[in-house]
Amino acid sequence: MTNVQKQYFVKIANVLFAVIFLVSAFVQHNDPDPLLWMSIYGYGALVCMLAIFGKDSRVLHYAGLVVFIFYAIYLFFAPNGVYTWFSLHSAENITGSMSDDKPWIENTREFFGLLILSFAHILNLLFRKSLRNKRTQIVDK
């Protein structure tokens, strides 16, 4: 993949992620903890939009990753978390409606949302490094 192709790929991926994260932030208004999740998805959308215009920084990606990964680990092991979902409830369908008698559904969905956010930041970090290395090689020649 050429440098130009990588740049287009990253821009397209960031546009898709930004749209997904903005929509996700918007639909959190009826969540039990809307401000937390609007902030989390809003941050992901903001960093992706900054990356589209080349205004992002590694610090923003790493800060997001630290928060997202630590929160995902918490949700994994929390009471009624992801571990409970697949060990005690046989990884039952989480796409149905949530109810008070199935709190693991909310935590599991949030966990996967954090994984998607983390993936977007990791993708940006990998391509930033790859594109920077290509520029360095061109300058060195």
pLDDT digits (tens, 9 = 90+) for 89-130: 655 655 666 655 666 677 778 899 999 999 999 999 998 876
Average pLDDT over residues 54-74: 95
Residue 81: the pLDDT is 76
The count of structural domains within the chain is: 1
pLDDT at site 24: 95
Asked if pLDDT for residue 79 goes beyond 70, the answer is yes
Smallest CA-to-CA distance from 34 within 44, 21, 45, 25 is with 25
User: For residue 52, which amino acid is it?
Assistant: I
Q: Which domain holds residue 99?
A: 3-140
For the whole prediction, is pTM greater than 0.75? yes
Inform me whether the pLDDT recorded for 134 exceeds 60.
Answer: no
pLDDT of amino acid 108: 79
Higher pLDDT, 87 or 70: 70
Q: Look at residue 140 in the predicted model and tell me its pLDDT.
A: 39
**CA dist., res. 53 & res. 1, Å (int):** 21
The pLDDT of residue 99: 59
- Give 44-51's long-range contacts (Cβ < 8 A, gap of 24+): 44/17, 44/117, 44/120, 44/121, 45/17, 45/18, 45/21, 47/120, 47/121, 47/124, 48/14, 48/15, 48/17, 48/18, 48/21, 48/120, 48/124, 49/14, 49/18, 51/10, 51/14, 51/124
Query: Does residue 70 have a pLDDT over 80?
Result: yes
What's the pLDDT band for 30 if we cut at 50, 70, 90? confident
